[in-house]
Structures are given as C-alpha cells and as structure tokens.
C-alpha cells in the first residue's frame, strides 16, 4: 500500500482542526447564548465544559485515529477486531453526511450574500425589505441550488487534492484570513459609541441565570463547536505525525475556537447596540440583523463583503472536515482513488442538500415527526447521532481500549505526565458518558431540569 497521507506540519494540524471547529456555531449560536444566559457567568461554565469534557474527548478521538492510522470506521476494526465497536465510525459517517446536507445549504446562502454585496444589491431602504428579501431568496427553488452547486465544486477542488496539498494548504491560508477579518471587525466595533453596552451584555456575569438547563446547553454547544462525536477528529488524528502531542493540540484548538466565539460576540454586540438593533441568533442574525446594521454603517458593502467572506471561510473549512470522514472511509475501505471517492460523496451530499434546500419551498409540507427534511437532518444528526457517537466513544476509550496504548498515544514522541493522563481518563470514563446521557435526555425532551 502506498504511504498514508499526513499533515506536514504542526501548524497545519492546528489550522485544519481549528478550521473544523470554527464554524457557523461560533458566529450565530455562541455569542447569543452567552449574552442571554448570564454573560461572564456563562463563559465560566462554558470554559469548564470545554476543559472537563471537550478536551478529553478530543484526545480520545485523536488517539483512536493516530493509533489505527485509518478512517473512522476502519479505525475501530483495527483496534477492536471481532467486535461491534466500529459502529462508532458508521454513526460518525452517517451523522457528518447528514449535517453536510443542511450545512452546505446555509453556506450557499452565505455565498449569495457575498454576491449580492458585491453587486451592491443587499441593502434595501428598510429593515422589512431586508427580512423580506431573505425570505424570498430562501423560498426560491433554483437560486439557492446554484450556490450549493458552486460550493460542491469548491469543496471538490480542495478536498480532491488530498490531505496535505488540499485540506492543510487551504486551512493554512483560510484560517489566518479568518482571524484577520475578525480582528478588523472587533477593532472597529470597540470604538463605537455602543461598545460599552454591547460588551457589558456579553461579559457582565449574572450567576442567577445559571441553572441545570444552561449547563446542559453549554455542554451541547462545546460538543458541536469542537466537532466531537462525528469521527472528524478520528479521521484528522489519523493524519497526525507522532511528534504531535494530543492534549496540547486539543487544548490549543479549544482555546482558538473559544477565542473566535468570544470575539464574534465582541464584534456583534457593540455594533448592534450602537445602531439600536437587538441582537438575534441563528440564520436571522447573519442574514437579517447584521445586514440591517451594515446598511447603517459607513461603506456598508465593504463591511458586508468582509463579514460574509468571514462566515463563508468558517463554513467552508467545516464542510471540508465533514466531507473528509466519508471520503477517507470509502476510499480506504473500498480502495477507490481519492478523486473518485470525493465525487461519490459529493454526489450524495448534493442529493441531501437539494432536499434540504427545497424544504423551504416545494418540499416544505413534506414532514416526518412534524419536521421537514432540513429540520429532520439537523435534529437527527445533532441531537441523536452526535451524542450517541460521543457516548460510545467515551465508553470504548474509557473502558475497553488498552490503557497503555492510550497513554502512549496521548504523548506521541514524548511522555505525558501521569497526573494529566489520570485526569483525562477520569473524564472519559465517568464525566463524559454521564453528562452525555443528561444532554441527550434533555435535548430530546425526555427529561427536563
Ligand atoms: N464546529 C462547527 C461549528 O461550530 C460545526 C461543525 C459541527 C463542523 C460538526 C463540523 C462538524 O459551527
């Protein structure tokens, strides 16, 4: 067999993994969640979730990947032969492909907004026009599909080039770009008259808002934001060289991911406060509220283009990582060339994306469990498959994987301290599985605290 691909540098490892972690979740979910749920107090809770739960689980996935040096499903066939643990890999492949179906559609909306801003068409004179235009665009049959098509081609051009020349190189260029744009925005935002009010909303701690439900949402957000439980980190971990220290990498990625989420808040709240518009979350924030604010700013098109390029880059590096799970799987398990594997997976994603996109127009009434296809793929992947994958993963690494192997894998070329190892293992064995069960019960509404 030919030599397996690897990320060439440690910086490339960080850029690609942060690329996966930083996505729309950092921009449209985290800031609002923090602002609404106790500001600084929420930040403390979130940081604890990331340290106690997120980083240990990232290490668990990386370790499985690097030890087996193969794709998410193949990895557990290598490490636990004659068992059913490789089902973790299949769950990841299924979940990441389903997520791609709707993530690609939203990424497509972002590209439409870049295009409209370049054409100077984005800003009607009133807030209602902007909201209406978004509604009209979303419910159009063809327009969103054109952008999905364009994105599938862009993803193909990057991912078919392979791990080093495709994913790593693209991440090395796009991630610094993302940080630069974010810093430009933050620099501008904090000089605005509403800066103080906005930052107070984000940072002022209010511990009375913290209850069980808030802690569970913080955990869920930590999972989604760090791309845990989907086989992505197993797949990327399989491309790490031995000189990569896993806890250190997990820590660095988590810090950078958090930094982007917090800076997104530092950009959003001062500008919304300064222009007297209340902040929102989800698609409305980036496709209605912010365009509304940009429209009132000096040089609106420039700010809109910068912002949507920022969101587009964040989404693109995430779609690449989601695609890589399935592409690595079918190219390795079915011995297909990378190009062919990429085409097959992108075709599957194309079908899912068309169904998701049409959920806003002709298929809006086609429902299962009262959800259209778009909502169903989100619900089933993020609320069911993701916790299930994370749970099985923590049980496997915590209770089944040979402890010596796990410890050696964490350090790579170097030794990691016994204290650090014990803490990580404790979290993977006890804290992670128990918390995941609670998150699952709470998001599915089976149990409410
Ligand atoms: N982590 C990304 C975000 O915060 C989303 C994502 C989830 C990407 C799962 C890949 C896998 O938006």
Cα–Cα nearest to 316, from 14, 10, 22: 22
Measuring from each residue's beta carbon to the nearest atom of ligand 1, which residues come in under 6 Å?
20-21, 23-26, 99, 224-225, 227, 230, 232, 318, 321-322
More confident residue, 122 or 11: 11
pLDDT of residue 449: 64
Pocket perturbation via mutation, ligand 1, pick of 18, 25, 315 by most ligand atoms within 8 A of CB: 25
Q: How far is the CA of 22 from the centre of ligand 1 (A)?
A: 7
DSSP state letters, 16-71 = HHHHHHSSHIIIIIHHHHHHHTTTHHHHHHHHHHIIIIIHHHHHHHHHHHHHHTS-
- Distance between CA 14 and CA 63 in Å, rounded? 16
pLDDT at 211 > cutoff 70: yes
Count of Cβ atoms closer than 10 Å to residue 261 Cβ:
23
Q: How far apart are CA 60 and CA 49, in angstroms?
A: 16
Structural domain boundaries in the chain: 10-443
Torsion angle of the four alpha carbons 378, 231, 237, 110, in this order, in degrees rounded to the nearest 10? -20
Question: Which tokens go with 392?
Answer: 């099985």
1: confidence class by pLDDT, cuts 50, 70, 90:
very low
Q: Which of 23, 107, 220, 258 to mutate to test the pocket of ligand 1 (most atoms within 8 A of CB)?
A: 23
Which residue lies with its CA nearest to atom 2 of ligand 1?
Answer: 23
Phi, psi of 242, rounded to the nearest 5 degrees: -70, -20
Residue 54 has pLDDT above 50, yes or no: yes
- Which atom of ligand 1 is least distant from the CA of 96? 11
Among 41-55, 105-119, 152-166, 374-388, whose mean pLDDT is lowest?
374-388
Average pLDDT rounded to a whole number, residues 415-438: 96
Say how many Å lie between the CA of residue 20 and the centre of ligand 1. 6
Confidence of residue 2 (pLDDT cuts 50, 70, 90): low
Q: What is the pLDDT of residues 75-129, one digit of tens each?
A: 999 999 999 999 999 999 999 999 999 999 999 999 999 999 999 988 876 888 8
Topology at the third CATH level for domain 10-443: Hydantoin permease (1.10.4160)
- 317-331: per-residue pLDDT in tens? 999 999 999 999 999
* Segments in 275-337 forming alpha helices (H): 283-284, 290-296, 300-333
Q: Which residues contact 165 (CB under 8 A, 6 or more apart)?
A: none
Q: Can you give the pLDDT at residue 127?
A: 85
- For the chain, give the mean pLDDT: 95
Q: Which pLDDT belongs to residue 442?
A: 86
Q: Report pLDDT for 136.
A: 95
Q: Is the dihedral of CA 420, 210, 214, 279 positive or negative?
A: negative
d(CA 100, CA 148): 11
Stated length of the chain: 449
Q: Give the whole-number percent of the chain exceeding pLDDT 90.
A: 90
Q: What is the pLDDT of residues 263-275, one digit of tens each?
A: 999 999 999 999 9
């Amino acid at each position: 067999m030919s030599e397996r691909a690897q990320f060439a540098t440690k910086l490339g490892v960080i850029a690609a993994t942060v690329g996966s972690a930083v996505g729309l979740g950092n921009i449209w979910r985290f800031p609002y969640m923090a602002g609404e749920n106790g500001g600084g107090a929420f930040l403390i809770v979130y940081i604890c979730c990331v340290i106690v739960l997120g980083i240990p689980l990232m290490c668990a996935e990386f370790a499985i990947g690097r030890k087996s040096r193969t794709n998410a499903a193949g990895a557990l066939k290598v490490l636990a032969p004659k068992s059913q643990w490789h089902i973790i890999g299949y769950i990841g492949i299924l979940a990441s492909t389903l997520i791609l179906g709707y993530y690609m559609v939203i990424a497509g909306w972002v590209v439409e907004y870049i295009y409209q801003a370049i054409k100077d068409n984005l800003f009607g004179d009133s807030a209602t026009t902007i909201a209406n235009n978004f509604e009209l665009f979303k419910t159009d049959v063809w327009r969103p599909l054109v952008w999905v098509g364009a994105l599938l081609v862009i993803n193909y051009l990057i991912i078919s080039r392979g791990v080093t020349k495709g994913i790593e190189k693209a991440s090395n260029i796009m991630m610094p770009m993302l940080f630069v744009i974010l810093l430009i925005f933050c620099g501008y935002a904090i000089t605005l008259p509403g800066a103080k009010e906005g930052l107070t909303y984000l940072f002022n701690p209010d511990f009375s808002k913290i209850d069980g439900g808030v802690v569970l949402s913080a955990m869920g957000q930590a999972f989604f934001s760090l791309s845990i439980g989907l086989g992505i980190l197993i797949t990327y971990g399989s491309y790490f060289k031995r000189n990569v220290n896993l806890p250190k990498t997990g820590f660095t990625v988590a810090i950078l991911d958090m930094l982007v989420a917090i800076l997104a808040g530092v950009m959003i709240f001062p500008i919304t406060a300064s222009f007297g518009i209340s902040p929102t979350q989800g698609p409305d924030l980036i496709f209605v509220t912010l365009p509304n604010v940009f429209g009132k700013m000096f040089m609106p098109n420039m700010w809109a283009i910068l912002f949507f390029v920022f969101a587009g880059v964040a989404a693109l590096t995430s779609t690449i990582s989601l695609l890589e799970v399935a592409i690595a799987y079918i190219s390795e398990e079915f011995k297909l060339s990378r190009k062919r594997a990429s085409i097959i997976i992108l075709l599957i994603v194309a079908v899912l994306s068309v169904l998701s996109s049409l959920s806003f127009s002709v298929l809006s009434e086609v429902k299962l469990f009262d959800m259209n296809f778009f909502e169903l793929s989100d619900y089933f992947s993020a609320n069911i498959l993701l916790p299930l994958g994370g749970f099985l993963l923590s049980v496997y690494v915590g209770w089944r994987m040979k402890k010596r192997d796990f410890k050696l894998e964490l350090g790579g070329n170097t030794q990691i301290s016994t204290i650090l190892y014990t803490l990580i293992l404790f979290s993977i064995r006890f804290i992670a599985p128990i918390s995941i069960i609670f998150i699952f019960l709470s998001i599915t509404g089976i149990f409410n605290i």
